[in-house]
C-alpha cells in the first residue's frame, strides 16, 4: 500500500458537500482515508474574478498505481459534473495528486510531486495539518516548504470539517 496526498478544492455550489462527496467517492474507489485536514477558505489563484474556494487535503492509502489513480480522480471529477471552462476557472470539484510516496513522475498527463506544491499556501496549509514531516521528493519536508513560503495569499481556517 502506498501513502498518497490529494488536495481538494471547490468554489461552485455547496462547496462543503462537494468536498465530502469527493472523499466518499475516493473511499468507494478503494482509497483508505488515513487523515483529513481542516478546511480553509482561500482566495482564487490564477484567475481571480470568481468566488473564494474551500480547500483541504487527505492522506490516503492505496494500491492503485499513480496513472490509474489519476484516472480515478479525473473520473470522480467527471462523475460530479466538473466542467473545465478555462484554466484556473471556477469548479465544483478539483482533485490533485500532490505526493505519491517517494515517486517522481514528469509526463504530459501527470507530474508528481505536484509542480507548484511549494508556491501555494492553500495547498501547504492543509498539508501542515496532516503530513508536516512528509518529504516532498526533491523539495524537502512539507514543514520546510511552509516555513519558506513568501507569498501573500489569503487562507483562512474555517470550523468546517470533511
The catalytic residue positions are 82, 91, 94, 96
Q: Which residues pair with 58 in a beta bridge?
A: 6, 36
Helix (H, G, I), strand (E, B) or coil at 120: coil
User: Using CB atoms within 10 A of its CB, is residue 62 exposed (0-12), middle (13-18) or buried (19+)?
Assistant: buried
What is the phi/psi pair of residue 45, to 5°?
-120, 135
Give yes or no for a contact between 53 and 85, defined as CB atoms under 8 angstroms apart. no
Straight-line distance from the first to the last Cα atom of the chain, in angstroms, rounded to the nearest whole number:
23
CB atoms within 10 A of CB 49: 7
- Distance, in Å, from the CA atom of 84 to the CA atom of 107, rounded to the nearest integer, reads 20
Amino acid at each position: 500500500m502506498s501513502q498518497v496526498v490529494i488536495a481538494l478544492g471547490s468554489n461552485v455550489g455547496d462547496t462543503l458537500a462537494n468536498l465530502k462527496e469527493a472523499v466518499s467517492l475516493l473511499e468507494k474507489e478503494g482509497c483508505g482515508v488515513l487523515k483529513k485536514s481542516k478546511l480553509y477558505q482561500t482566495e482564487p489563484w490564477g484567475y481571480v474574478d470568481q468566488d473564494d474556494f474551500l480547500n483541504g487535503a487527505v492522506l490516503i492509502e492505496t494500491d492503485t498505481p499513480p496513472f490509474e489513480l489519476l484516472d480515478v480522480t479525473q473520473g470522480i471529477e467527471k462523475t460530479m459534473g466538473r466542467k473545465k471552462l478555462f484554466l484556473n476557472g471556477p469548479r465544483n470539484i478539483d482533485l490533485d495528486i500532490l505526493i505519491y510516496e517517494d515517486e517522481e513522475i514528469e509526463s504530459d498527463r501527470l507530474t508528481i510531486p505536484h509542480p507548484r506544491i511549494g508556491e501555494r499556501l492553500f495547498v501547504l496549509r492543509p498539508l501542515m495539518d496532516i503530513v508536516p514531516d512528509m518529504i516532498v521528493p526533491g523539495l524537502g519536508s512539507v514543514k520546510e516548504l511552509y516555513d519558506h513560503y513568501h507569498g501573500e495569499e489569503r487562507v483562512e481556517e474555517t470550523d468546517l470539517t470533511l
